[in-house]
Structures are given as structure tokens and as C-alpha cells.
Amino acid sequence: MDEDCLFCKIIEGSIPAAKVYEDEQCVAIEDINPQAPTHILLIPKRHIATVLDLAPEDAALVGHLHLNAADIARKRGLTDGFRLVFNCNAGAGQTVYHIHLHLLGGRTFGWPPG
């Protein structure tokens, strides 16, 4: 846990969030600034600042986030399509330095993304 991290505070319960899912490895919350009708953040409970800080032993955790995102997408009826995104560092739009997977759906997305 990082005492100054917004997501660590959400995980420990000191900051409220609209939880969609939680297990021993991660929590999924509704994004407070949604960019699509469905915009959920899947956050590992272990603090990892950026994707560049992932190690080979984190492969199962990253897979776990993706599998849970797919399950949530199915439950939300996003079978026509959805997008999964990790932003890494400020140049890619990362604003909270605790990795999190964005699940976006419920609208058509363009390519390339902004």
C-alpha cells in the first residue's frame, strides 16, 4: 500500500467508491469521470505504479484483471464490443500512479484512439 495513493485508499476503504466487483487480488469500481456508458476500472490490490513496473511474476495478476474485465463485460451485455486499456505515464493519460485496467463499452469506438 502507498499511503498517498488514491486507489490504495479506495482499496482500504478510507475513500468511498462504487464497487462493481472485489476479490482477494483486485477491485473493480465505476469511473467517476466516465468516457463511455460503461467505464469501469479494475485495480489490483497490490500497489504497482505503472505498467513499466510490472515484473514477469505479475503475469497472472494482469491476466486476472483481463479475465474479470471480460466477465463484467458479459454481465453488462457488452457482447457487441468493448475496449480494455492500460495507460502508462502522463504522456498516455495516466493520472493515478497505481496500474488500472479501463473497461469501456456501451458505445462505438473509433480508431485510432485519441
Q: What is the pLDDT of residues 39-63, one digit of tens each?
A: 999 999 999 999 999 999 999 999 9
Which residues are 27's β-sheet partners? 22, 43
pLDDT by residue (tens digit) across 13-26?
999 999 999 999 99
Enzyme catalytic residues: 100
Is residue 114 over pLDDT 80?
no
DSSP string, 54-106: --GGGHHHHHHHHHHHHHHHHHTT-TT-EEEE---SGGGT--SSS--EEEEES
What pLDDT is recorded for position 54?
98
Region of residue 61 (left: phi > 0; alpha: psi -120 to 50; beta: else): alpha
What pLDDT is recorded for position 2?
86
Which SS3 state, helix, strand or coil, does residue 51 take? Answer: helix
Burial class of residue 65, CB neighbours in 10 A (0-12, 13-18, 19+): buried
What pLDDT is recorded for position 71?
98
Cβ proximity of 42 and 10 under 8 Å: no
Instruction: Please give the grid coordinates belonging to residue 20.
Output: 462493481
Is residue 1 over pLDDT 90?
no
What pLDDT is recorded for position 62?
98
